[in-house]
Structure 1
Amino acid sequence: MSEHSQAPEAPGPKVHVLGNGVRVVCDPMPGLQTVALSVVAGRGARSEDELRSGWSHLLEHMVFKGAGGRSARGIVEAIEAEGGHINAATGYERTSYQVRALKHGLDLGSAVIADLVLRPHMDEGDLVREKQVVGQEIAEAADAPDDLVFELAQTAAFEGQSLGRPILGTPASIGAADPAALNAWRAALYAPDSLVVSAAGAVDEDQVLRLAERDFGQAQAVSPPPPAQAASFQGGMRPTAKKLEQANLVLLLPAVGAGHPDYFALRLLAEILGGGMASRLFQEAREKRGLAYAIDAYSETYIDTGVLGVFAGCAAEDAAELARVVAGEIAGMTEAVTEAELARAKAQLKGSMFMAREQPLARAEQAAAHMLMFGRILPPEELGAEVDAVVAADLVRLTEAILAPRRAAVAVLGPKAALKAAPAFEKALFG
C-alpha cells in the first residue's frame, strides 16, 4: 500500500425486515475476531400493569432456567464452550439478550437466544425457585442505599404509572405469576413486531440474515400489550430516614424524551452541570466547598419523556446546604454558558458516543435502540452534527422549560438530619 493510499472504509450497517416483521441489523467491523449479537424487544417494564409489575424481569430470569431442549446449565455451557458469554437485561422500554463470542460462535449464539425468547420451558418448580431468587434481589435492592434512593426518586417522579414502579416488581406481584400466564406475557412482550436482531463485529451480512430467518423468521404474531400510557412527571418529596453513614440524594426535574429535538441539548446540559471533574457541580460542591465526595448530573430519556437528574452522597449535616448549592447551579444554567464550556461538553459527549461504537456489543445495542426509537440507524456523522448544532441559547431555553412546571422529585435517604435537604432544594429552586 502506498503512503497516499487509504484503507477501505468499513461498510455501514445493513437493515433487513423478515416476513413476520422482525428487523435484522448487520454491522461489520473489519479486523475483529469476535462478534456481538443482541436480540432486543422494544417492550419492558413500562408495558406492565400494576398486577404484572416485575413480570418482564421475572421472565428474563425464567427463560435461562431451560429453553429449546437445553437445561439452565446446558445453556451457559454451550455458549462458554465456544469462548462466549451470554447475558440479558430488562429496562422500562426494552429487554435485551446478548451473546459475545468468537466469530464462529454466531450460529450457536443465535440459536440459543432464539430458544430463550421463543421456546423457554417454563417449569412450575423452576418458577417457584426463581420467585425466591427475585424476592432476594428485591430485598437486596432495598438494602442498597444507592439503589433504593433512585427507586424512591423514580416513584416520586412518575407516581401511579408504570414508569414509577420498580422494574423488579414487588413480592406480591411476582408471587401472582404462574407458568401459563408468564408464557403468555412472553409471547406478547417478545412478539416479532417488537424484535430487533442486531449483530456487530466479525459478521457477514448473508450469514446474519440466514440465521435470523432460520431462528426468528417463524415467530408468530400475537396481540401486544396495550400501549404504555403517556408519561406525566408528578414530582414530590421522598425523605426517608435510614441508619447510614452518609446521606444519599437524588434530585429529578422533568425533561424531554429521546425523540425530542432538544435531546442532545439535554445531554450537553447534564454534561456541563455535572458530567465530570470539570463540571460546575463537581467544582462548586466538591472542590470549592468540600460538601460531597460523589456528585454527578445525568439525563435519563424514554420515548416520550425524560428527566434531568443529580445524584450526590454527603455527610448528613451537609445535605441541606448541598441541596441548595445544586439548586443554585441548576438555576445558573438559565444564563448562557461560555463557548469554552460548551466546546468541552461537546467533546466529552462525542467522545463517549464514539468510543462506545468501538465495542461490538455497545454498537449492536445502539443499532437496535435506534431501530426501535427512530425506525432507522443514525450514522455517526449525523450524531456528531446534532451535537455540534447545539448553541448556548438552546441550553438556556431548555433549562427554562425544565424549570417552568416548578416540579421536582426529590429523594433523600440517610440520617434524620439529612431529610431537610428535600424542602431545601425545592425552596432554593422555586422559592
Structure 2
Amino acid sequence: MSAPSPRPEVHRLPNGVRVVCDPIPGLQTIALSVVAGRGARSEDEARSGWSHLLEHMVFKGAGGRSAKGIVEAIEAEGGNINAATGYERTSFQVRALRHGLDLGSAVLADLVQRPTMDADDLRREKQVVAQEIAEAADTPDDLVFELAQEAAFEGQPLGRPILGTPKSIGRAAPESLGDWRAALYAPETLIVSAAGAVDAAELLRLAERDFGAMTPGLAVPAPEPAAFHGGVRTVARPLEQANVVLLLPAVSVQDPDYFALRLLAEILGGGMASRLFQEAREKRGLAYAIDAYSETYADVGVLGVFAGCAAEDVAELVRVTAGEIQGLLRPVGEAELARAKAQLKGSMFMGREGALARAEQAAGQLLLFGRLLDPEHLAAEVDRVTAEDLARLTGRLLAARQAAVAVLGPKAALKAAADADRLLFA
C-alpha cells in the first residue's frame, strides 16, 4: 500500500507574508508563485491600468539585473518566468528544475521589491502597453467581453479594462508607479506558494530570507462592493460574424451557491453535451462557437454566454439562449446533473495535476478563504448540489431583472441586443 501524499503546509512570517508548501511526489521540477491579493480592482479611474503596467515594468530591471539578465538567469537553470494581472490579484511565477527554487525565490523577490523603474524604460513600456490596448480593440472576441463587462459594472473598477487606457497609463511616472508598487505588493497581501519537488524547511528559509524584511505597504482603500447594473453595448464592425456576450448577475466565490453556479454554467453551455451547444449549434446551426461560463469575485459574480454567429442569426440566437436559461427554472434530470458534476470534478482535479496550477490555486484559496480547501472537500461540495438548488439559483439570477448584452459585428446584428431583456424576463 503506497504512502499517502504529503499535505500542503501553510506558514506565516512575522510581517504577514504567508508561505504555502505543496510537495508533489515524483516530480523533478518546482513551481513558485508570488501572489499579491490586489489587482486592477484596487485602482481608481485615474490609475486604471497601472497594476498591469507595473507588472510589465518590474521585468525591465530589478535587483541589479537587467531585463535580459532576469530571463537569462532563470533560463540558465532550465526554467521560465511569467506574470499575470487580474482584477483581484497579481501573480509572478517561476517554473524550474528542483534546484532552481533558491534562484527563483531571489528573482521574484527582486521583482516585487526592487524594480529599477527607469524613466526611459517606462516611456517605452507605455508604448508597448498602448499597442496591447490597440490589439485588444482590434480583436473582436476580446473587445466584446470588455464591452459586456463595462455594461455590467459601469463606472466601477470591475467595469474598466485591466489594461487601462492610453490616457490613464500615460499619467504614470516612475515615482508614482513606485508608490503604487509599495501598496499593491504589500506583505500583508502577499503569498509565496510553491508546489512540486519542494521541501517545507527550505522554502520557509528562502521565504524568510527574501520576503521576511518587507515592511507594511502604503494604505489602499478596500474596493467598494460591486453593483451589477446591466445594459447594452454595441459596436458596428465590417466582420463576417457577429460576436455576442450576455451576462447575468450571479453569486460571489464565497456564496453558498458558488458550486451550484459552476454546475449551472456547465449544464447551460460547458461542453458538447450542454444545452446551448446541442440546441443552438447541433440542432439549429446558429453558431459554430457557443459556451457558457461563470466568473466570480470576492463579492459578486456573473453567469455568461458567448457566441459567434452570422449577423442574420443573432436575434434567433438570443431567443434560444434566453429560452435555455429560463428552462433551468425547472429541475434538471438526474443523468444531466450527474454528467455536469462529473465534468466539473474532472476539470477541478485535472487542473490540480500541474504544479503551477496547484501553487496558484493554493494562493487563491488563502486569499479568498484564509485556508486551503482539500480536493475531497471540494468534491463533496459539488456532490451536495441538488437539482432543486439549480432551479432556485436560476430564479435568483433572473429575479434581479438585469442583464448586460454586448454585440460586435455587422450593423444588421446590433438591433437584436435590445431584445435580451424582453426575452429573459418575460
Does 1:349 find its partner at 2:344?
yes
State the match for 1:249 in structure 2: 244
Query: Normalised by the size of structure 2, how large is the TM-score?
Result: 1.00
**2:221 matches 1:239:** no
Correspondence for 1:13 among 4, 8, 17: 8
Q: Deviations over 1:108-151 (max 9, x none)?
A: 00000000000000000000000000000000000000100000
**Distance in 2, Cα, partners of 1:15 & 1:390:** 29
Which 4+ stretches in 1 moved above 2 angstroms?
none
Secondary structure of 2:203's aligned partner: helix
Give the letter aligned to residue 277 of structure 1.
M
User: Contact conserved, 1:39 with 1:198, CA < 8 A, in 2?
Assistant: yes
CA shift for structure 1 position 224: 2.6
What residue in structure 2 maps to residue 314 of structure 1?
Answer: 309
Match of 1:94 in 2: 89
Deviations 1:283-329 (CA, angstroms, capped at 9, x unpaired): 00000000000000000000000000000000000011001100000
One-letter code aligned to 2:296: T
Which SS does the other structure have where 1:420 is aligned?
helix
In structure 2, C-alpha distance between the alignment counterparts of 1:253 and 1:113, rounded to whole Å: 38
State the TM-score, normalized to the length of structure 1: 0.98
Instruction: Report what 1:425 is aligned to.
Output: 420
Distance in structure 1 (CA, Å) of the matches to 2:393 and 2:125: 44
Output the amino acid matched with 1:53: S
Q: Which letter does structure 2 place at the counterpart of 1:179?
A: P
Which deviations, in whole Å up to 9, do the C-alpha atoms of 1:338-389 show, x marking residues without a partner? 0100000000000000011110000000000000000000000100000000
Corresponding residue number in structure 1 for 2:122? 127
The question of whether the paired residues in 2 share the 8 Å contact of 1:22 and 1:193 is answered with: yes
Q: How does 1:344-383 map to 2 (within 5 A)?
A: 344-383=339-378
Note the C-alpha offset of 1:421.
2.2
Report the Cα offset of residue 223 of structure 1.
2.7
Deviation (angstroms), 1:423: 1.5
Aligned to 1:293, what secondary structure does the other structure show?
strand
Match of 1:44 in 2: 39
1:325 aligns with 2:320: yes
Amino acid at match of 1:308: L
CA contact (8 A) 1:367 1:377 kept: yes
Counterpart position of 1:105: 100
Structure 1 residue 240, shift from structure 2 partner: 1.4
The equivalent position to 1:171 in structure 2, one of 142, 166, 169, is 166
How far has the Cα of 1:430 moved from its partner? 1.5
**Is this contact kept in 2: 1:249–1:311, CA < 8 A?**
yes
- Identity, % of aligned positions: 76
User: Please, which of 205, 213, 219 is the counterpart of residue 208 of structure 2?
Assistant: 213
Q: Deviations over 1:217-269 (max 9, x none)?
A: 01110233110010000000002111111000000000000000000000000
CA deviation vs aligned residue, 1:25-45 (integer Å, no higher than 9, x gap): 000001000000011000000
Aligned residue among 177, 182, 188 for 2:177: 182
> When the two structures are aligned, how many residues end up with a matched partner?
426
Secondary structure of 1:419's partner? helix
Letter in 2 for 1:82: E
Q: Name the counterpart of 1:3.
A: none
What's 1:385 paired with? 380
Question: Matched residues in 2 for 1:225 and 1:280: separation?
Answer: 44
1:7 offset after TM fit, Å? 1.0
Contact 2:247 2:303 in 1 (8 A): yes
- Contact conserved, 1:189 with 1:224, CA < 8 A, in 2? no
Q: Unaligned regions of 5+ residues in structure 1, if any?
A: 1-5
Residue pair 1:191, 1:224 contacting (<8 A) in 2 also: no
Secondary structure of 2:393 counterpart: helix
AA aligned to 2:139 is A
Match of 1:409 in 2: 404
Is 1:25–2:41 an aligned residue pair? Answer: no
**For 2:215, what is the secondary structure of its paired residue?**
coil
Tell whether the 8 Å contact from 2:185 to 2:217 is kept in structure 1 after alignment: no
